[in-house]
Amino acid sequence: MTSKDAHGKGTITPIKVLLVEDNPLDAELELEVLRSAGLLVEERVVWTEPAYRAALGEFDPDVILCDFVFPDFDGETALRIQKAEYPIIPLIFVSGTLSEEHLVVAVQNGAVDYVQKSNTVRLAGAVLRALERAEQRRLLLQAETRLARLGAIRDVMSAIDHAIVRHRDRRVLFSDACRIATEIGKFPLASIVTRKSATSKFRTEAWAGLPLTPVAGGWAESIGAENDPDAGPIASAVRTGAPSVVNDLTEDSAAGLTRALWDGGVRSMGGFPLIVSGEVIGAMFIAASVAGFFNVEEIALMTDVASNLSFALDSIEGQSRVVRLSRVRDVLSAVNEAIVRETDSDRLYHEVSRIALELGGYLNVFVVLVEGERQDDVRVIRASANSTVEVPEADLSIKDNLRSRKGLVAQALEALEPIVLNDVLQASTSQFVHPRLLREGVGSIGVFPLIRGGRGVGAISFDTAEAGYFDAEEIALLSNLANNLTYALDHLARQHHVARLSRIRDVLSAVNEAIVRETDGDRLYYEVSRIALQVAGYLNVFAIVIENDGQDVRVIHTTANSTAEVSEAELSIKENMKIGRGLFATAVRDLKPVVINDVLGAGPSQYVHSRLLRDGVRAIGVFPLIRDGRGVGAMTFDTAEAGYFDDEEVALLSNLTNNLSFALENLARQRSIVRLSRIRDVLSAVNEAIVRETDSDRLYREVSRIALEIAGYLNVIAVAVGADHRTARVVGVAGTMAVQVTVLGQRVF
């Protein structure tokens, strides 16, 4: 954990550990284990419930290490308090009295992990994992809170839009808008201040929330005075015609009405101009109870609210347009609800298309997703369309357009901005309008790119019967929809990535357990392959070993959902090794991982076997096994997900293969030690037989027996050569196999 000091230099922040332990020696031992692991620790030790509750609030620990049984307190109560009052703080049980079964039950009840006091070597790793999971949960809660906050503002926007459609009187509309902001948006105060002309005074037309209306009139008049502290963000918004916010309202700076706002719980406030026919005629004032409330998205949404109110004032003739905008915002609101609700990207695409079609009244809605590295590798994820064209036809048409860089989708993905065609009949050649659109009566088309990491990853396309449909506000709202969708996909991708990394870490943990458990190299290969396939969900996992000084390869084990046999895989790898091509040959030669994140875009030197395409493999990672600075094999992982292997996945899987290489080297050393030990035992027993036996033939037989039984040889043969070196006889044979031996040209049995 790092932070910045007063000079901007990096400093290490200690991990705040709350130990719930009545044995000082045990507490000190746990702290010593953490410090020995290189962790900087700040501790507090408690063993009673009152002290525990006080420490949770005052000490604000990062992690809790808790024994299970105390004289006047217990671990179950500590866990119950933590879950109810401080759920973000991870609790790890460290016990020496309970069985592992009881501790597992405790983990199932909410503890993040457990460590036996007899095995504290796991403690530092358990703490680090708990802190990492707590941080992931904090970020997730932060994201959910942010989504909920944005959702509340969008609910305000949607409700105000409905009010715009419903009300024809500006005062009623303004009052309803302020009421909506305070009741639905839960803002402590909302007000609208207007003036009739650039030279007239401002007046408060609507106010909801904090009961400060007696001073509202004077506050409105103060807006004209640029230096009046009460004027605040409203004066700035009116003066500049742009949003103005104060995100850090402090008690020290508060005076007059601002002081009253502070006392009422206001910590952030913003003014959003109302502009009619290019002139600022007022502003909407929104107060929030959270410091730092107004960031870019909140400002953008509240600016949209103020703009919508301005539009309502502009002209009653635009009522149909307001209705249309309301429908789009209904789409946006419903899409945002779907974003919060859905956890699968394909289901989210389908739901967005359905919502846009049903609520927005569009003729067709298509969601297009770019897959892999090539931009013409696209898939129409869902099309909920009143269309005479089938999805495969649309898919093919879009692919053709992307290859030739024509059509609206291609233009939107290249420009990374919305592309609209407000009159299909006037489309240019480069825009390429499919004949089906004319048959279906499409008048306008809008294509809005989905952008992640500065790259177009897809688009959402709307067809409508109304020519000229897409003006600036429709484009802004639908861009907002596309941006929200992209944000949701990013969020889902991050969740997916976290889950994927968690699975790989589970694989790594299970493999390390197998390394400790297994004493045979082939069984270890099999177990590693099985674990990786079952836990991480790969399509295929191959363990490949180089034999005979690099002249041969053997697929030790493959636990694979593969259409290829092991012999086919071995033959393919052998052929590639001879000519130095393919991922395995490259990884073993260069002693570093080799990955293809898009099988369809693989080059000739990478050589992807046709079976991979049959198996649906989209990404491959090959990780070398290295002993004594030489590649002795590799682990290969095939997955159905393009782009699977990023830096973190590569690092974790490299760690896995490094551990496996170390384990195999250790097993080889152990085998050598055991073999030498047996030979020394044979030597010792033979020396005893030499002392004991007085007959040479019996000695030969005894030596053969000893070597067979102790050293574990298959056969042991003792041959005596005659003095003329031309005759020989077998004087000692041990073993179950029939053996023939030729000595000096004579066959003896």
Q: Which residues of 561-583 are buried (b: 16+ CB within 10 A; e: fewer)?
A: ebebeeeebbebbeebbeeeebb
In this structure, what token pair is assigned to residue 115? 């460590």
Question: Which of 650, 666, 682 is the last residue before a domain boundary?
Answer: 666
Last residue of a domain, one of 486, 509, 535: 486
**How many whole angstroms separate alpha carbon 460 and alpha carbon 446?**
8
**What local confidence, expressed as pLDDT, does residue 226 receive?**
47
- At 227 the pLDDT is 42
Non-local (6+) Cβ contacts of 293 within 8 A are: 149, 247, 267, 268
Residue 698 has pLDDT above 80, yes or no: yes
In a domain, 662, yes or no: yes
pLDDT in tens, 374-419: 555 667 765 555 554 455 666 667 777 776 677 888 888 888 999 9
Cβ–Cβ < 8 Å for 679, 686 = no
190 and 79 in a common domain: no
Q: Which one-letter DSSP state was computed for residue 169?
A: S
Residue 110: closest CA among 125, 95, 93? 93
| CATH at 201 | 3.30.450.40
Average pLDDT (322-335) is 84
% of the chain residues with pLDDT over 90: 14
Give a yes or no: residue 604 inside a domain: yes
Looking at per-residue confidence, does 626 or 570 come out higher?
A: 626
**99 and 23 in one domain?**
yes
Q: Is the dihedral of CA 469, 472, 475, 481 positive or negative?
A: negative
The Cα 345–Cα 490 span in angstroms is 10
Asked if residue 704 belongs to a domain, the reply is yes
Instruction: Let me know whether 34 and 108 are in one domain.
Output: yes
Residue 642 tokens read as: 């393009």
Q: Where are the alpha helices (DSSP H) in 594-738?
A: 610-615, 647-692, 696-711
Domain of 119, in residue numbers: 2-140
CATH number at residue 109: 3.40.50.2300
Q: How big is the chain, counted in residues?
A: 749
**Number of domains making up the chain:** 5
Cα distances from 476 to residues 332, 414, 421, 471, 472, in angstroms, run 11, 19, 15, 9, 6
502 part of a folded domain: no
Q: What is the DSSP letter of 601?
A: G
If one compares 553 and 159, the residue with the highest pLDDT of the two is 159
Please indicate, yes or no, if residue 156 is contained in any of the structural domains.
Answer: no
Provide the 3-class DSSP secondary structure of residue 365: strand
Q: Looking at 486, 510, 538, which one is the last position of a domain?
A: 486
**pTM of full prediction above 0.95:** no
With b meaning 16 or more CB within 10 Å and e meaning fewer, what string describes 88-117? Answer: ebbbbbbbeebeeeebeebeeeebbbbbbb
Where do we find the tokens 């808008």? 177
Which residues, at least 6 apart from 101, have a Cβ–Cβ distance to it below 8 Å? none
Tokens linked to 262: 């502070």
Task: Identify whether residues 524 and 481 lie together within a single domain.
Answer: no
pLDDT of 197: 56
Whole-Å CA distances, 255 to 216, 230, 244, 252, 550: 15, 8, 19, 8, 82
* 123 shares its domain with 192: no
User: Do 283 and 393 fall within a single domain?
Assistant: no
590 and 523 belong to one structural domain = yes
Q: Is the pLDDT of residue 746 over 60?
A: no
pLDDT at 623: 93
Work out the angle at residue 247's Cα, subtended by the Cα atoms of residues 244 and 250, and round it to the nearest 5 degrees: 125
The Cα 18–Cα 183 span in angstroms is 41
71-79 long-range contacts (CB < 8 A, ≥24 apart) are 71/22, 72/47, 72/48, 73/20, 73/47, 73/48, 73/49, 75/20, 75/106, 76/106, 76/109, 77/49, 78/20, 78/49, 78/52, 79/106, 79/109, 79/110, 79/111
One domain, residues 379 and 250 = no
Q: Per the domain annotation, does 512 fall within a domain?
A: no
* Assigned domain for 686 exists: no
Residue 146 lies in a domain: no
Q: How confident is the model at residue 5 (pLDDT cuts 50, 70, 90)?
A: very low
- Answer yes or no: do 238 and 329 share one domain: no
Does 135 lie in the same domain as 28?
Answer: yes
Mean pLDDT across the stretch 624-649?
Answer: 87
CA distances from 51 to 22, 48, 562 (A): 12, 5, 59
What is the average per-residue pLDDT within 423-448?
74
Same domain for 308 and 336?
Answer: no
